[in-house]
Amino acid sequence: MARAKGGFLTMGTKRIGLARIEALMENLKREINFGAGTKLVGHRIPVESVTADDTLTAAESGTTYLFTDAAATLTLPDSGAGDLIGVTYTFVSIFTATAQKVICTDTTNEILIGALVATDTDLDTTVRAWNAEVADAYDFVLFSGVETGAIGSTFTVTNYAADRWLVSGVVIQESGAEAIPFGTT
């Protein structure tokens, strides 16, 4: 049985100091390997309302950001060191956009690669895709109005290599001349 005694934890006849316990705790494996048939219940994805400019962190990976205001810029963390592989964020416009923007930190080297599929509410049968290829060097997605991303538009970015973010999603476009939501600085 473990007992605290004079700043030490005793395990039977062996005393273990607090520093040793801290070291043991810090070295614990922080990975959970679920076997076949395992269910994770009660888990919720973190959701955050966006009303002002912000710089995202790797610790916020997995968060869904709701643009609840007309204008805000979210800056992705710099992936140039290659240590962000697997970091992912989802963005949803739930307010008529004037300048809802997601941009790479390093606009010289980081790029978005992938595609956004667009639907046109003026003509429900019209579907198009906006591609982001390496040669395009796109470093941001911008919903600046109903032509580039109306309420309900959503996309996800995932870092898959140094300076590379994979982007995919669905953009709802309505009225006017629909326009590409990707851009470069």
Parse the chain into domains and list their residue ranges. 47-183
Chain-centroid distance of CA 121 in Å reads 27
Backbone angle region of 105, left / alpha / beta, with phi > 0 → left and psi within -120 to 50 → alpha: alpha
The bridge status of strand 127-132 relative to strand 111-120 is antiparallel
Please determine, for residue 163, whether its predicted confidence score (pLDDT) is greater than 80: yes
What is the arithmetic mean of pLDDT over 108-137?
90
The residues that bridge with 165 in the sheet, in sequence order, are 112, 159
User: What pLDDT does 1 receive?
Assistant: 46
Distance CA 17, CA 7 (A): 7
Please determine, for residue 132, whether its predicted confidence score (pLDDT) is greater than 80: yes
